[in-house]
Chains A and B, each alone.
Chain A
Amino acid sequence: MLCLLASAIWAGEMAVIPAGTRVPFFTGAGGDKTFKREAVPVKTFRMDRFPATRDEFAQFVKAHPQWRKSKVKSLYADAHYLDDWKDDIHFGNETGDGQIPVTHVSWFAARAYCQSRSKELPTTDQWEYVAYDGGRGSSRNLDWYGQPNPAHLPKVTSASTNGFGVSGLYGLIWEWTLDFNSAIPTDDDGNDQFCGNGSLGAADSSDYASFLRYAFRSSLKANFTTENLGFRCVQEIQP
């Protein structure tokens, strides 16, 4: 029975992520030398096995015209929103184009898509927890981060799958998180900009892949869109 249930879950579009703990890369607890970096609990949740595809996003904009590129407000998406689409509801013509990750989407559009499916964007903690395979693996593979963007993104199914049954967390695109703006930058003078005081401390300064993701997120604004930034959704599991 459990096996049946497990295989049914595996076959779905979302993977069930079991509860666990994760040590945040940055804690924001800087100045306090006595602060102990502690693992934070992560509750169980479901995560899309693949990033949202162009096919899926096309269905979304057909059903929600306010998110078509001719209609979207600049407050919610910059001028490059769906830049590589031919028109409001059509992307390229090449075979298989529908199966590549949708990119050129803003945080607002990504959230609206997830919410239209009764889902939400993952928190940074959720995303990183899965990226680290719940501690079984590592997201330290830097190869992809050093490569130029391919002229044509591969299909979502081409990426490697981790122990949770989730594919393409890195190796395809960068992904939005719900709290992408939780990364606290310093200003140009190097001054901290926040109340929690002190500078930020990294959990493991050797984890350069995490640092790159942290830095990338902190550079984003919610209406930004770019060619290598997409998303996937998560869903709460009611206890």
Chain B
Amino acid sequence: MKYTLLFTICTICLLGPIRVSAQQRAQKNAGVANERNSLSENSIYQLNSQWTDQYDRAATLQRFQGKPLVLAMIYTSCKDACPMIVVDMQTIEKALPEKVREQVQFALISFNPEQDSPEQLRRFQSTHGLAAKHWTLLTGSENSVRMLAAVLGIHYQKLPSGEFAHSSVVTVLDSKGTIQQQQTGLKKDPGEVVSVISNLLSPTK
């Protein structure tokens, strides 16, 4: 039997500084609901998941709506595959033409809510030199992780050692949160993803 895996990543995350009155919040929720209704049926932004970003701000995936997103799920203490996933994403970032790059978002989402606090995410961002302008790092509840992994088709398992086994996938989402491409495996040539993203942003689209 052959197991096929699929994985590349793109994704979205989002958030919103949420220090608002109840009334503002209600208006905002209504707005999010309306925005969600305008999404396609298979948009990942349909997911009602809650996250916290590297600045300790509440975030939702809908926040990425409007621009393409390149996304991967990782955990910061991972020594093997995760740093390579990040390098692969940085390779994509560098390979994008500058004008395109300015319109693309990058997100890393943690498998490990217990260990990956916003502070830890910030440290990871700094260690890997991820520009704050383009990169969002998110941590969320176990359930949010489970739901996101499910819609992305990512397999993962917490091991007795505390490490996580997981598939290595970089996903590209379009501005409405629909999966456009998934790159599975490590040390991949960025050409295909770059071409997919460039097409998403081409004026003829």
Contact = CB atoms under 8 A, between A and B. Distances in A.
Interface in A48-78: 73-75
Given A187-B5, A196-B164, A75 B42 contact: yes
A215 interface: yes
A183 B146 CA distance: 14
Nearest to A124: B157
Interface in A87-134: 107-108
B42 A28 contact: no
Interface in B114-173: 146, 149-151, 153-157, 159-161, 163-169
Interface residues of B, number: 39
A221 B44 CA distance: 14
Given A29-B161, A38-B160, A195-B78, A185 B43 contact: no
Contacts of B160: 27, 29, 38, 40
A3 B161 CA distance: 41
A40 B157 CA distance: 14
Consensus secondary structure, chain A interface: loop
Contact of A28 (B165, B184, B185): B165
**Dominant secondary structure at the B interface:** loop
Given A194-B167, A195-B78, A183 B4 contact: no
A188 B5 CA distance: 8
Nearest to B83: A195
A187 B185 CA distance: 8
A73 B151 CA distance: 12
B5 A186 contact: yes
Most B CB atoms within 10 A — which of A27, A182, A194, A197? A194
Residue of B3, B80, B146 contacting most chain A CB atoms (<10 Å): B3
B46 interface: yes
A195 B150 contact: no
Contacts of B155: 181-185, 193-194, 218
B167 A73 contact: no
B55 to A, nearest CB: 26
A191 interface: yes
Interface of A: 27-29, 38, 40, 73-75, 107-108, 178-179, 181-189, 191, 193-197, 215, 218-219, 221-223
By Cβ-Cβ distance, the 8 closest A-B pairs, closest first, are A185-B3, A196-B165, A222-B150, A182-B157, A194-B165, A193-B167, A28-B165, A74-B41
23 contacts: A27-B159, A28-B159, A73-B41, A75-B46, A75-B47, A107-B150, A179-B146, A179-B157, A183-B155, A184-B156, A185-B3, A185-B5, A185-B155, A193-B7, A193-B167, A193-B169, A194-B168, A195-B75, A195-B164, A196-B157, A196-B165, A218-B3, A219-B1
